[in-house]
Amino acid sequence: MSNNSIKGGGFIIHETFANDIFIPEEWNEEQQMISQVCEDFIEKEIIPVLDRIDAQEEGLMQSLLDKAGELGLLGITVPVEYGGMENDFKTSLLATEHLGKGHSFSVAYGAHTGIGTLPLMYYGNERQKTKYLAKLVSGEWKAAYCLTEPDAGSDANSGKTKANLSDDGKHYIISGQKMWITNGGFADLLTVFAKIDDDEVLSAFLVERSFEGISFNPEEHKMGIKGSSTRQIFFNQVKVPVENLLSERKNGFKIALNILNIGRVKLGAGVLGGSKQTFQHSIQYSIEREQFGRSISKYGAIQQKIADQFIKIFVLESAVYRTGQAIDDKIIQNQKDGMDKNISTLKGIENFAIECAIIKVAGSECLDFVVDEAVQIYGGMGYSSESPVERSYRDSRINRIFEGTNEINRLLIVDMLLKKGLKGELDLMSVAKSIQTELMSIPEFGESNDEFLIAEKKTLLQLKKIVWMITGSVVQKLMQTLSKEQEILLSISDCLINIYQAESALLRVEKLHDKQDMQNDIRFLLAQTYLYDSVDFIHKKAKDVILSFAEGDEASMLLMGLKRFAKYKNINPKENRKLIAKFALEKGKYIF
Ligand SMILES: Cc1cc2nc3c(=O)[nH]c(=O)nc-3n(C[C@H](O)[C@H](O)[C@H](O)COP(=O)(O)OP(=O)(O)OC[C@H]3O[C@@H](n4cnc5c(N)ncnc54)[C@H](O)[C@@H]3O)c2cc1C
């Protein structure tokens, strides 16, 4: 598959073609086998011991990571020479999805294989990789990532941890405190971010747990993911050999950000797995539970919840794997252009940092929605720790906080998009100008939208035009102060998140339509219902933006444009949801 023309963030101005995206219906046999291995592992090794994991039974999490290592699951993308499987990026997302059903285990796994291992894999030199990487892949050593400090959370570069070169020039002496460190209780290798001397930017160091001067607070008592180890770590004059500086001095913040990009899209894949799992519980319980003499699944109130869970999962899934493929395509293109493999990968992912942030926000909010409705479907039982969804509800909440809070990610989405516009990487100016001309012209009337997906594609384009219109206008008016107008930026971001998911789902349906008639397929109804909801959602967000900065004639013109663009044909949303729920109840689980 070649998709070289697609640029990160480009979805908002360019047309994406269905043939250029990957859809989950296209997994090959090998990838399906990896899914099965992950699924079996969670089913057999993790689910039966969830209570013991949450009780933080001594040594249990480590032994489970060891077992994952034996199956090769700790090195899905790691090069073969270090014991890994060297799979492509989207396959790693697939594995993450299936392993995302393991509650606290998934968090420990994600921290070890993601933020724990990847800084070394992408930025380590040969000597460092030879020394540590194979040990992390086998599970012999466990990894953690130490960025956050008590006073440096979202503002990660403001950390106070220091690294001073020793008099003999052989060591960096690290002193400081890190907080909220996942796997902190047992990790053998810590990637620690600290500032050298008076540097204003972080550097990164590979620190072994056994180095003298490291101490740990007891485990944090958390709302959820109780089985995941989370500690404060203190570094008191810790001597770290100079050869353990990762990459170059002052490259730490860049490393942290690039690794977070990967963490974000992987978080989205993981919560997709969790959402599917909770969806299945919701369906099954609703079928079994009877009230007023009937299964509660027969009630419209419950069917609506199941349909909404299904819709959110479907559009998220479509967006996750579209992004995975776009990243893989970019990596291949970078390599063809002569870039080194690691740099190709990092640049490929960085290119799609906007989409990674979108997936993080959309995914974490999808899971929160799905678990919340699951508790409601379970009624009183949902509030009992005897039901599986009580744990899911508590465990879900963290996902909106770590890997960059959803507020920070939302702000980043627009910030990165505007920067791409300013740098000329995306021609946002032209599309914004084209809208101004269109607003002066007479609207088109009465064209036929009968052909399959034509009306949906037209609506999608119009939703994009709303973003061009409001973004172009606010940039023009508030340029200097726009970065401080967070409420406006958050609303624009919400529009982008919805559009990306709506488009991904529609493109998926369009691609499938090449092989089979999709007019009566449930996937069309899922995509269509999401689009229908998005029109009103985006209308409200855009209206809020317009009324926040424009007045008089300008506001009237923009509101008229909004009315013209925020349109979709009438569908019967109740009937759509009934059909969607019926399908889910018949299948008993998410089947695509
Ligand atoms: C269970 C758990 C595990 C974690 N694991 C790790 C780990 O392994 N390694 C690691 O380094 N860190 C880890 N973290 C830390 C995590 O990444 C941070 O908690 C997160 O980045 C938020 O930082 P904070 O908690 O300091 O919140 P703050 O930054 O204090 O944010 C508080 C609130 O203010 C908002 N806010 C902050 N700045 C702005 C702004 N400029 N504009 C608008 N709103 C803003 C935030 O969105 C949030 O709503 C973990 C945290 C938890 C709870």
Q: At what angle do helices 428-440 and 406-423 cross, to 10 degrees?
A: 90
| Residue 399 Cβ < 6 Å to ligand 1 | no
Does 80 share its domain with 106?
Answer: yes
C-alpha 157/C-alpha 437 separation (Å) is: 43
Give percent of the chain above pLDDT 90.
95
* Structural Rg of the chain based on CA atoms: 24
Q: Which H helix or E strand runs over 407?
A: helix 406-423
* Burial (CB count within 10 angstroms: exposed 0-12, middle 13-18, buried 19+), residue 312: buried
Residue count (the chain)? 592
Q: Which atom of ligand 1 is nearest to the CA of 408?
A: 47
What is the Cα 5 distance to its own chain's centre? 23
Position 2 scores a pLDDT of 45
Mean pLDDT of all residues belonging to the chain: 96
Does residue 543 form part of some domain?
yes
Who contacts 358 (Cβ-Cβ below 8 Å, separation ≥6)?
Answer: 319, 323, 413, 496, 497, 500, 501
Position 177 scores a pLDDT of 98
C-alpha 120/C-alpha 113 separation (Å) is: 11
DSSP helix/strand/coil, 205: strand
- Cα of 397 to ligand 1 centre, how many Å? 13
Tokens 């998709």 locate to 3
Q: How confident is the model at residue 448 (pLDDT cuts 50, 70, 90)?
A: low
Q: Which H helix or E strand runs over 119?
A: helix 118-123
Does 180 share its domain with 217?
Answer: yes
Q: Which atom of ligand 1 is nearest to the CA of 155?
A: 29
Give the CATH number, domain containing residue 237: 2.40.110.10
Does residue 6 form part of some domain?
no
Position 445 scores a pLDDT of 63
Q: In this predicted structure, which of 226-230, 436-440, 554-558 has the lowest mean pLDDT? A: 436-440
Q: How confident is the model at residue 371 (pLDDT cuts 50, 70, 90)?
A: very high
Tokens 């007019």 locate to 519
The two tokens of residue 340 are 């080194």
pLDDT of 5 strictly over 70 = no
Position 3 scores a pLDDT of 52
Task: Express each pLDDT in 254-278 by its tens digit.
Answer: 999 999 999 999 999 999 999 999 9
Does 555 share its domain with 447?
Answer: yes
Give the CATH number, domain containing residue 118: 1.10.540.10
* Burial (CB count within 10 angstroms: exposed 0-12, middle 13-18, buried 19+), residue 441: exposed
Does residue 1 form part of some domain?
no
Does 138 share its domain with 155?
Answer: no
Give percent of the chain above pLDDT 70.
98
| Residue 123 Cβ < 6 Å to ligand 1 | no
Beta pairing, strands 245-246 & 203-208? antiparallel
Out of 104, 109, 117, 148, give the residue to mutate to test ligand 1, the one with the largest number of ligand atoms within 8 Å of its CB: 148
Does residue 402 form part of some domain?
yes
Q: How confident is the model at residue 446 (pLDDT cuts 50, 70, 90)?
A: low
> Which of 142, 225, 254, 186 minimizes the C-alpha distance to 400?
225
Question: Which residue's C-alpha comes closest to atom 16 of ligand 1?
Answer: 402
Does residue 592 form part of some domain?
no
Q: Which atom of ligand 1 is nearest to the CA of 225?
A: 1
Does 233 share its domain with 266?
Answer: no
Task: Express each pLDDT in 391-420 by its tens digit.
Answer: 999 999 999 999 999 999 999 999 999 999
| Residue 490 Cβ < 6 Å to ligand 1 | no
Q: How many domains does the chain have?
A: 4
Residues 13, 468 contacting (CB under 8 angstroms): yes
DSSP helix/strand/coil, 191: strand
Query: Does residue 586 carry a catalytic annotation?
Result: no
Out of 104, 149, 154, 217, give the residue to mutate to test ligand 1, the one with the largest number of ligand atoms within 8 Å of its CB: 154
| Residue 108 Cβ < 6 Å to ligand 1 | no
C-alpha 265/C-alpha 238 separation (Å) is: 33
Active-site residue identified among 97, 390, 403, 510: 403
pLDDT of 436 strictly over 90 = no
Does residue 422 form part of some domain?
no
- Cα of 148 to ligand 1 centre, how many Å? 8
Q: At what angle do helices 89-99 and 300-336 cross, to 10 degrees?
A: 150
Beta pairing, strands 189-196 & 162-165? parallel
Q: Which atom of ligand 1 is nearest to the CA of 178?
A: 11
Does residue 7 form part of some domain?
no
Does 339 share its domain with 439?
Answer: no
Does 475 share its domain with 559?
Answer: yes
Helix H, strand E, coil C: the string for 231-259 is: EEEEEEEEEEEHHHEECCCCCHHHHHHHH
Question: Which residue's C-alpha comes closest to atom 51 of ligand 1?
Answer: 180
Last residue of a domain, one of 200, 229, 246: 246
Q: Which atom of ligand 1 is nearest to the CA of 184?
A: 8
The two tokens of residue 410 are 């939302």
Who contacts 583 (Cβ-Cβ below 8 Å, separation ≥6)?
Answer: 310, 522
Who contacts 316 (Cβ-Cβ below 8 Å, separation ≥6)?
Answer: 268, 272, 275, 359, 362, 363, 366, 501
Residues 481, 489 contacting (CB under 8 angstroms): no
pLDDT of 536 strictly over 80 = yes
- Cα of 361 to ligand 1 centre, how many Å? 14
DSSP helix/strand/coil, 570: coil
Question: Which residue's C-alpha comes closest to atom 24 of ligand 1?
Answer: 153
Task: Express each pLDDT in 489-516 by its tens digit.
Answer: 999 999 999 999 999 999 999 999 999 9
C-alpha 498/C-alpha 413 separation (Å) is: 13
C-alpha 21/C-alpha 4 separation (Å) is: 11
- Cα of 525 to ligand 1 centre, how many Å? 37
| Residue 191 Cβ < 6 Å to ligand 1 | no
Position 335 scores a pLDDT of 96
| Residue 152 Cβ < 6 Å to ligand 1 | no
| Residue 407 Cβ < 6 Å to ligand 1 | yes
Task: Express each pLDDT in 66-121 by its tens digit.
Answer: 999 999 999 999 999 999 999 999 999 999 999 999 999 999 999 999 999 999 99
Who contacts 286 (Cβ-Cβ below 8 Å, separation ≥6)?
Answer: 295, 296, 297, 302, 306, 377, 585
- Cα of 401 to ligand 1 centre, how many Å? 6
DSSP helix/strand/coil, 220: coil
Task: Express each pLDDT in 36-49 by its tens digit.
Answer: 999 999 999 999 99
- Cα of 306 to ligand 1 centre, how many Å? 32
User: Which residues form the domain of 238?
Assistant: 145-246
Residues 23, 514 contacting (CB under 8 angstroms): no
Does 465 share its domain with 574?
Answer: yes
Does 109 share its domain with 32?
Answer: yes
* Burial (CB count within 10 angstroms: exposed 0-12, middle 13-18, buried 19+), residue 218: exposed
Does 441 share its domain with 546?
Answer: yes
- Cα of 135 to ligand 1 centre, how many Å? 30
pLDDT of 6 strictly over 50 = yes
What is the Cα 94 distance to its own chain's centre? 13
Q: What's the mean pLDDT in 421-443?
A: 88
Last residue of a domain, one of 103, 125, 142: 142
| Residue 408 Cβ < 6 Å to ligand 1 | yes
Does residue 309 form part of some domain?
yes
Position 440 scores a pLDDT of 82
Q: What's the mean pLDDT in 466-472?
A: 96
Last residue of a domain, one of 373, 408, 443: 408
Position 568 scores a pLDDT of 96
Task: Express each pLDDT in 282-324 by its tens digit.
Answer: 999 999 999 999 999 999 999 999 999 999 999 999 999 999 9
Does 109 share its domain with 177?
Answer: no
Question: Which residue's C-alpha comes closest to atom 44 of ligand 1?
Answer: 407
Position 434 scores a pLDDT of 92
According to DSSP, the residues that pair with 176 across neighbouring strands are 235
DSSP helix/strand/coil, 145: strand
Q: What's the mean pLDDT in 429-452?
A: 79
Give the CATH number, domain containing residue 466: 1.20.140.10
Does 322 share its domain with 451?
Answer: no
What is the Cα 478 distance to its own chain's centre? 30
- Cα of 410 to ligand 1 centre, how many Å? 14
| Residue 532 Cβ < 6 Å to ligand 1 | no
pLDDT of 21 strictly over 60 = yes
- Cα of 255 to ligand 1 centre, how many Å? 18
| Residue 483 Cβ < 6 Å to ligand 1 | no
Who contacts 489 (Cβ-Cβ below 8 Å, separation ≥6)?
Answer: 410, 411, 414, 415, 482, 483
pLDDT of 1 strictly over 60 = no
| Residue 145 Cβ < 6 Å to ligand 1 | yes
Question: Which residue's C-alpha comes closest to atom 40 of ligand 1?
Answer: 408
Position 29 scores a pLDDT of 97
Q: What's the mean pLDDT in 14-29?
A: 96
